Amino acid sequence: MKEFELKYGCNPNQKPAKIYMREGGELPLEVLSGRPGYINFLDALNSWQLVKELKAALNMPAATSFKHVSPTSGAVGLPLSEKLKRACFVQDMPELDDSPLACAYARARGTDRLSSFGDWAALSDVCDVATAKLLKREVSDGVIAPGYTPEALEILRAKRGGKYNVVQIDPDYVPEVQERKQVFGITFEQGRNNFKIDAALLSNIVTANKTLPESAVRDLIVSLITLKYTQSNSVCYAVDGQAIGVGAGQQSRIHCTRLAGSKADTWFLRQADKVLALPFKPELARPERDNVIDGYINQNEEDVTADGVWQRYFTERPAPFTKEEQRQYLDTVTGVALGSDAFFPFSDNIERAFRSGVSFVAEPGGSIRDDAVIDCCNQHNMVMAFTGMRLFHH
């Protein structure tokens, strides 16, 4: 296939639209089902790079969930605890235990379920039946993978009456060294960001505490590779082989840190006993439950436990999850990794990260206030590595 005609570009008025190779060669992908659009392909090609790099760096199956050209999460295929299965709504899928790839997508999809609603999924490995079954039951726009087993492809082709977007990409495709795009009729050209992220990048530890366990190395790599394909400015919290909070596209770094931290907090709180025990009405769909859980945790203006409200969702009135109870729960969290795509200009970022259980930090360094940031890490006994490399993505 030399080109693929799109229904329209970013918006319906932007026509005609298509994807093609600049020199007229064959596209390194095949559309197996559906008709992906402009934004779908932006998500597909960025998300594929993320999972391909995660797999290469950690030698584990990887998955990501993308929305509007940024990941909601990225994860590798570690088993899920029983509480995490319940928080991700996959406790009824025993087949996940035999599929690391399905575990990776369950983690990625389950991290920020509000943002992942209508996502684009990317898989580092051939899609198996367990992963296809998980994709089938979620509200999702499409998936990209290096291949699909026959039964998995049959499951996905049946989704949305055959309109679900399924893309297969050549895993051996290597793009040109130079990349180009146009803005306002002017062509920009730059070298591709082929910077390798691995354990060696974390060797320059600048804090008094220099104990960086293998699990933290893994999580910092997950965080940094996720950031490499997140619209900047961006900050990413990670733990247990998955990104648990991504703060994307903010103009100020502290806003990135707060946004990502609030998402990480919600991810932890979803696994609290009080949340897992919410007495949902059995007919309430998963997306509605996600909205209710978010309101229950974050105490939206229309409190889901208020008079005349809780009856819509629950079989009985649940007790509120107070801010004091949530703070006590979050104060028990430690061992979280934090990556930043550029240096932290002030120590307020470290103070906010500490409130979400961060123990390990990776950032480029190079700020005139590096000493203040290092000192703040030392006060909280954190380990911080300077990577020396900025990871802006636009």
Query: What is the token pair recorded at 223?
Result: 């965080």
Query: How far apart (Å, rounded) are the C-alpha atoms in residues 309 and 291?
Result: 14
Residue found under tokens 């409200």: 309
Query: How far apart (Å, rounded) are the C-alpha atoms in residues 356 and 338?
Result: 10
| 3-class secondary structure, 230 | coil
Residue 240 C-alpha from the chain's centroid: 13
Query: How far apart (Å, rounded) are the C-alpha atoms in residues 126 and 114?
Result: 27
The residue type at 136: K
Strand partners, 240: none
φ, ψ of residue 216 to 5 degrees: the values are -70, -35
Active site residues: 67-68, 233, 394
Sign of the dihedral through C-alpha 295, 299, 301, 307: positive
Q: What one-character-per-residue DSSP string does 121-168 give?
A: EEESS-B-HHHHHHHHHS-EEEEEES-B-HHHHHHHHTGGGGTSEEEE
**In 44-125, where do the E strands start and end?**
62-67, 70-76, 119-123
The residue type at 124: S
**In the chain, count of helices (H) and strands (E)?**
13, 15
Contacts of 62 (CB under 8 A, 6+ apart): 50, 51, 54, 55, 74, 75, 76, 77, 104, 123, 124
Query: What is the token pair recorded at 380?
Result: 């909280």
Query: What is the token pair recorded at 391?
Result: 């990871």
Buried b (16+ CB within 10 A) or exposed e, 166-198: bbbbeeeeeeeeeeeeeeeeeeeeeeeeeeebe
